[in-house]
């Protein structure tokens, strides 16, 4: 699953609020365990994110317990079947792709063709 610009903006705001100490993330030790966002009941949190508390919780659950954890589930599944001999190379390739995408998004020609640029769509 790919991340949208709204996801990126959410994560940037989340990082700011975590650095301030307004929000923090914990691992809930149920089975199966999961991530929990704490501190999101204060009024200024809604204003900073520009969404309701329920919207903040939904996006957090989707990103952390959905996309983030599921990505590692896929890695664990693959490595159980074929071993982890290729992990270092896979991380290097992923890093290269990330950097290439970042550079392309900075180029003017590509920005014009980027259908997500300036869009509020997820």
| CB of 9 closer than 8 Å to CB of 116 | no
Q: What mean pLDDT is reported for the chain?
A: 86
Question: At 112, is the pLDDT very low, low, confident or very high (cuts 50, 70, 90)?
Answer: low
Only one residue has tokens 């990330």, namely 98
Please state the domain extents for the chain. 1-82, 84-114
Question: At 81, is the pLDDT very low, low, confident or very high (cuts 50, 70, 90)?
Answer: very high
Count of beta carbons in the 10 Å neighbourhood of residue 59: 21
85 or 43, which is more confident: 85
pLDDT at 120: 56
Residues 6+ apart with CB under 8 A from 22: 39, 42, 44, 45
């Amino acid at each position: 699953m790919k991340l949208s610009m709204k996801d990126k903006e959410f994560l940037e705001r989340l990082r700011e609020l975590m650095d301030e100490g307004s929000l923090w993330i914990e691992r809930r030790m149920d089975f199966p365990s999961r991530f929990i966002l704490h501190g999101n009941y204060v009024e200024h949190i809604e204003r900073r994110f520009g969404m309701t508390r329920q919207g903040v919780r939904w996006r957090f659950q989707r990103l952390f317990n959905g996309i983030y954890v599921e990505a590692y589930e896929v890695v664990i599944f693959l490595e159980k079947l074929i071993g982890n001999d290729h992990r270092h190379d896979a991380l290097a390739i992923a890093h290269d792709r990330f950097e290439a995408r970042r550079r392309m998004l900075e180029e003017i020609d590509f920005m014009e063709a980027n259908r997500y640029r300036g869009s509020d769509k997820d």
